[in-house]
Structure 1
Amino acid sequence: MATFSDLGVSKAYIKALKELNIITPTEIQAAVIPTLLGTKTDLIGLAQTGTGKTAAFGLPLLSSIDANKPQVQGLIIAPTRELVQQIQKQLFRFTKYLDEMIFAEGVYGGERITRQIKALTRPTHVVVATPGRLLDLIERGAVDISNVKTLVLDEADEMLSMGFKEDLNRILQHNTSRRNTWLFSATMPEEIKRIVRTYMSADAVRVEVNRNSLVNENISHHFINTSIKDKVNTIVMLLKKRQGKRGIIFCRTKAGTQKLTKQLHSKGFTVGALEGDMQQKERDKVMRAFRNESLQILISTDVSARGIDVNNLSFVLHHQLPEHLEYYTHRSGRTARAGKTGQSIALIIPGEMKKVLDVQRALGIKFSEMTL
């Protein structure tokens, strides 16, 4: 087994990683760290969330920073506020034992822009940002990305499915000649291929992890035959069996999320909802409760669950299977993180079995029937 030292990571970083209990490199880390430390190159990484991408791009990015130059040299763009905060926190922890300080600032919507503008007047080497807020700051002249040597796009497919295509194009048009671009994505839709063709070098390094398993191997996939009117009772039975275990229930619509939350509340379950119209403050409150485990179950739409990274989720429940296949990948990928196992359970009503077979075929996974 390779160690971080074998990959070329310096001692100060290894010491910080050890404290974070990151000892053995994951597949993506072993595949990309030596390349990114050793050469200036563009990179395309096909990897799921939960595979250790942050250290895979974060360590080489930090190693490329000249701490004596107080200018933005690294830029990481991610789809959601949660993910931005998480990446920034990780970078901060990685640099704990360095001799010189490397400053990373996180910027995202849902917080007063004046505060972020003020924060950016301090020396900043790395900016971690959501696309919309970053563009706003660039246009106000609050952040200068002309000296960026490395641009990372994390969860690129999620950014596109959230409607950030225009914003990304406008950001990518800046200082194209002098930077390397590292793009990470779980899936490779046509739009991502177009970004690769337009903004990245033709000889970009390509890395795929677990190519055959688009969905994490530690997840077992199940379906339960039920009917529309029995769905709530089925969920109640499932949750009772899993008392003390944490999970996310996915609904297709905002209305569905609200309705199911009410129904489960009335049956005495502590559940919280995440849906589109929530104020950021409310969303943060729900996420805090979920992280500190005073809330066991989260009910969410696909879009609202973006960027959620919570360890120790034992199951994901699909109130309905999603319309798009990549949503199944994103949904089920919320469980079984960091080497743990998890279950992905879909409620199926008569006539929906074809969908299960479609998902099986397209993603190369096997569903087994679960009975209660």
Structure 2
Amino acid sequence: MANFEELGVRKDFIKGLNELNIIEPTEIQTEVIPLLLETNTDLVGQAQTGTGKTAAYGLPLLHKIDSKKKVVQGLILCPTRELGQQVAKQLFKFTKYTDKIFTEAVYGGAKIEMQIANLKRPTHIIVATPGRLIDLINKNAVDISNVKTVVLDEADEMLSMGFKKELDEILKHAKKAENKWLFSATMPHGIKEIVNTHMAEDAHRIEVSADKVVNKKIEHQYLICDDLDKLQVLLQFIRTQKDNRGVIFCKTKAATQKLAKQLIAKNISADAIHGDLLQKERDKVMRAFKNESLQILIATDLAARGIDIEALSFVVHYQLPDQEEYYTHRSGRTARAGKEGISLAIVNAVELKQLRYFEKALKITFNQVRQV
């Protein structure tokens, strides 16, 4: 296994990585970093959340920035404000021991005047949601004509959220970019259209196979019970975790709301995030969870996009997802930064078949626990 120095990463960046306990490169980092460091190129990478994508594209991007030039040189597009904030924070941490590289995150749901004011300061990299970036371009508040590198992170999610038109427009504005790097968990037709329209024919293609995307430090457990007993089983599990914090996943908004009420009624500090929340309500819940006044966050798959909370001890699948990619996204919320974590699926007899399918597709083993 190569280390970051062997991949070509500068020592001042490695010092920052070591502080974050990022020591061994993941598969996608090993494949992508040397390629992006040594040349200007277009890249299509297929990889799930939790595989280390941010460092895979973030480190080469930071290497390409000339900190003495006070113009925007890098652009990262993300589907949600949470993911945008998370990426900007990671880049800031990577550059702790380097020359100052300034990153600004811009996204909808926040005051645009404040973001316009912030962009008047020296900015080397912008991390943006597509809609807000278009607004800023239309107001002449941002100039991306000097951008050398454009990254599309979680491109399939941006597409499913209806941002195809905005992505096309942004990529036209940044047509002089020497590097276009697209990362996506899946490759639907719309993504192929973007690749064919905006990227070089000889773009490199790297795919991280499904069996390598699941973090090895996660212990996958399952417990079988009837639907009527799921709440009781969950409560027992939460009690065994004492003060440890975690995320519980449900498939629907209604299920997250109902479960949050049930847990609060049992004096557990929990709250839910789902698509019906206003941005300020969502921010309030996330703030409470980040500052640890909430122990449990209950979420739908879509609402959980971009969540990156350090020191999550567990993830619970109260309702199993339909697709293995979602299982990977969910379980990847725990065991971050070299720590270990538990991914517990509470399943009925019918859901057990889905669990067996995940085992085969992701090449992982679920250990049955009789009681928690």
Q: After TM superposition, is the score higher than 0.5?
A: yes
Aligned equivalent of 1:98: 98
Gaps of 5+ in 2: none
Aligned equivalent of 1:45: 45
Q: Which moved more, 1:29-38 or 1:346-355?
A: 346-355
Helix, strand or coil: the match of 2:243? coil
* 8 Å CA contact 1:248, 1:317 repeated in 2: yes
Question: Following superposition of structure 1 onto structure 2, how do residues 50-69 of structure 1 map, counting pairs within 5 Å?
Answer: 50-69=50-69
1:105-150 CA-to-partner distances (Å, cap 9, x unmatched) read 1101121011111222223221111122112212222212222110
Aligned equivalent of 1:355: 354
Per-residue deviation, 1:23: 4.1
1:50-109 CA-to-partner distances (Å, cap 9, x unmatched) read 33332322222122123333221110111221221122122233334434x432211011
Distance 1:153 1:78 in 2: 7
Aligned equivalent of 1:225: 224
Per-residue deviation, 1:248: 0.9
Distance 2:57 2:3 in 1: 16
Per-residue deviation, 1:211: 5.0
Aligned equivalent of 1:158: 157
* 8 Å CA contact 1:48, 1:333 repeated in 2: no
Q: Percent identity?
A: 60
Distance 1:318 1:22 in 2: 27
* 8 Å CA contact 1:145, 1:175 repeated in 2: yes
Helix, strand or coil: the match of 2:5? coil
Helix, strand or coil: the match of 1:234? helix
The TM-score, its normalising length taken from structure 1, stands at 0.90
Per-residue deviation, 1:36: 1.3
* 8 Å CA contact 1:272, 1:298 repeated in 2: yes
Distance 1:16 1:342 in 2: 24
* 8 Å CA contact 1:51, 1:338 repeated in 2: no
**Structure 1 position 234 matched with structure 2 position 233:** yes
**Structure 1 position 10 matched with structure 2 position 10:** yes
Aligned equivalent of 2:36: 36
Aligned equivalent of 1:199: 198
Per-residue deviation, 1:41: 0.8
**Structure 1 position 145 matched with structure 2 position 163:** no
Counterpart amino acid of residue 314 in structure 1 = S
Q: Which moved more, 1:105-114 or 1:204-213?
A: 204-213
Distance 1:69 1:116 in 2: 21
Distance 1:193 1:22 in 2: 32
Per-residue deviation, 1:24: 4.2
The TM-score, its normalising length taken from structure 2, stands at 0.90
Distance 1:98 1:47 in 2: 28
* 8 Å CA contact 2:314, 2:344 repeated in 1: yes
Question: Following superposition of structure 1 onto structure 2, how do residues 267-346 of structure 1 map, counting pairs within 5 Å?
Answer: 267-346=266-345
Helix, strand or coil: the match of 2:223? strand
Counterpart amino acid of residue 262 in structure 2 = Q
Per-residue deviation, 1:181: 0.8
Helix, strand or coil: the match of 1:347? strand
Helix, strand or coil: the match of 2:92? helix
1:202-245 CA-to-partner distances (Å, cap 9, x unmatched) read 22223344553343333333332222322211211221222222
Change (3 A) 1:261 1:23: same
Distance 2:194 2:366 in 1: 34
Q: How many residues align?
A: 371
Distance 2:114 2:282 in 1: 20
Q: Which moved more, 1:259-268 or 1:137-146?
A: 137-146
Distance 1:256 1:142 in 2: 42
Aligned equivalent of 2:366: 367
Gaps of 5+ in 1: none
* 8 Å CA contact 2:224, 2:346 repeated in 1: yes
Distance 1:97 1:352 in 2: 49
Distance 1:55 1:356 in 2: 31
